[in-house]
Amino acid sequence: MRRAQKGFTLIELIMVIVILGILAAFALPRFADFSQEARQAAMDGGVAAVKSASAITRAAFLANGSSGTTASLDGVTIDLVNGYAAAIDGSNSQISAAAGITNSDFTIWGTTGSTAVVYTEAGQTPAVGSECFGYAEGTPPSIVRGQITDITSSASIQCDTTVTATATNAP
């Protein structure tokens, strides 16, 4: 008389382990590295903050009767150019102050009196192909997101071929 089989055979156990190994090999890389997606999300958030700050400073200018060269946003005075936030005035990035962006968030490139600001990932040395976004004064201002297309040491940094700022780190 044969006894009833209890448990799994060695072949069945090996097959389960093989199937789990195959699933892990395909699934794990999809969830293991989110750093690139996080960088892109940070850049998208920075662009959105700059766009919002530009729109809010314009709205403050219009609400003030379309006059004045400054707007006050939450107690921060922002210099205006043609009713929009200035890129850099004095030693401060005006659009960055309006957007609440600091050098701990992004590296801010531009210099006193510059009409453009380029933002790159904080703590990283910018290079051609690095992610960036930029703001250039205008009516309306130009706000772009892309990659650094040109960088000349101590001269200029260009984002998406349209926004060029001096290659000096601005506060």
pLDDT digits (tens, 9 = 90+) for 35-77: 788 888 999 999 999 999 999 999 999 998 888 888 888 888 8
Predicted pLDDT at 171 = 40
| Mean pLDDT (whole number) for 9-18 | 92
Query: For residue 36, which of 121, 104, 105 has the smallest C-alpha distance?
Result: 121
Residue-wise burial string across 40-76, b where 16 or more C-beta atoms lie within 10 A, e elsewhere: eeebeebbebbbebbebbbebbeeeeeeeeebebeee
Confidence band, pLDDT 50/70/90 cuts, at residue 102:
confident
Range of the domain at 82: 34-165
Total structural domains within the chain: 1
Classify residue 94: in a domain, yes or no.
yes
Classify residue 170: in a domain, yes or no.
no
Classify residue 99: in a domain, yes or no.
yes
Digit-coded pLDDT (tens) for 146-166:
888 888 755 678 887 777 776
Structure tokens at 142: 């130009």
Q: Give this prediction's pTM.
A: 0.75
168: pLDDT strictly greater than 70: no
Digit-coded pLDDT (tens) for 73-97:
888 888 898 899 988 876 678 888 8
Half-sphere exposure for 36 (CA within 13 Å, toward CB) = 5
